[in-house]
Amino acid sequence: MATPRVRPSVTSSTQPSHVPQRPVNVQLRARRSNRLIVIGVLCACLGALIMAWAWTGAKESQAVVVMVKDVARGEQIEASDLMTTTLGRADGVAVVAADRAPGLVGQFARVDLPAGSLPGPGAVGADVVPPGTAQVGLKLASGRLPSQMLRPGTRVWLVEVPGPMDASTTAGTQFEAVLACAPQLTADGTGWLVDVQVDESVAASIAALGAVDRIAIVRRSDA
């Protein structure tokens, strides 16, 4: 009877050898992602562009004066008529800088200035009477001027009316005039105060007629 052969034990060369453990205090470096790097660069560029745009806009913007109330030509400007706002770049637009707003108060509008408009440097100034003309102040009784609101610059006739003791009702001399301001109701509410611009050669006659309540205002055609 044959004795079975016993093969010697052979250690396989494919069996994994012992792997050393990583020390606790040693950190592995994370692998960088090219995609994240590209995204970071793009974000940085975008942020720089936004900052440049904001800086450019702030540099080109300016604080200017804007009207908050309607001011007709010839009317005096008050502080409550004005406010300031920030305006972007507007080439060719004449404006008044916000720091000059106090200097406009007390001046007179040379053109109509509606609310929301930007007054230009020449739109406001001193109350100047043109050469060859005179400005006359009148106090008129109710019924001596149209009931419709009259604005500064309106062309009118100043009509000489008969006095209370005159038997004739025929109108007298007519004078061409331009309203220098809008009529204002008197404190007692019984009449109107208005300034008119007339030829200086007839200013004295108009003032004399106004003093005895013999002037009426008739609006002329705007044409």
pLDDT band at 212 (very low <50, low <70, confident <90, very high): very high
Specify the pLDDT at position 41. 74
Tell me what percent of the residues of the chain surpass a pLDDT of 90.
32
Report for 25-39, 81-95, 193-207: range of highest mean pLDDT:
193-207
Residue 197 contacts residue 181 (beta carbons within 8 Å): no
Specify the pLDDT at position 207. 95
Specify the pLDDT at position 63. 86
pLDDT greater than 80 at residue 195 = yes
Specify the pLDDT at position 194. 93
Q: Could you tell me which residue, 93 or 176, shows the higher pLDDT? A: 176
pLDDT greater than 90 at residue 3 = no
How does pLDDT run across 17-71, given as a tens digit for each residue?
A: 555 665 656 555 555 567 777 777 777 777 777 776 655 555 567 888 999 999 8
Q: Could you tell me which residue, 160 or 8, shows the higher pLDDT? A: 160
Distance of CA 123 to the CA centre of its chain: 13
| CB-based contacts of 195, cutoff 8 Å, min separation 6 | 74, 135, 136, 137, 138, 179, 180, 181
Specify the pLDDT at position 202. 95
Q: Could you tell me which residue, 205 or 10, shows the higher pLDDT? A: 205
Specify the pLDDT at position 31. 58
How does pLDDT run across 124-164, given as a tens digit for each residue?
A: 887 778 889 999 999 999 889 998 888 888 899 999 998 87
Domains (range + CATH), the chain:
62-125 (3.90.1210.10), 133-219 (no CATH)
Q: What is the pTM of this model?
A: 0.53
Whole-number Cα distances in Å, 55 to 47, 48, 52, 90: 12, 11, 5, 17
Residue 217 contacts residue 158 (beta carbons within 8 Å): yes
Tell me what percent of the residues of the chain surpass a pLDDT of 70.
78
Separation of alpha carbons 98 and 64, rounded Å: 4
Q: Could you tell me which residue, 139 or 121, shows the higher pLDDT? A: 139
The per-residue pLDDT of the chain, averaged, comes to 81
Specify the pLDDT at position 28. 54
DSSP secondary structure letters along the chain: -PPPP-PPP---TTS--PPPPPPTT-PPPPPPPHHHHHHHHHHHHHHHHHHHHHHHHHHH-EEEEEESS-B-TTPBP-GGGEEEEEE---TT----BGGGHHHHTT-EESS-B-TT----TTSEE--PPPTTEEEEEEEEETTSS-SSPPPTT-EEEEEE---TT-S------EEEEEESS--EE-TTSSEEEEEEEEETTTHHHHHHHHHTT-EEEEEPP--
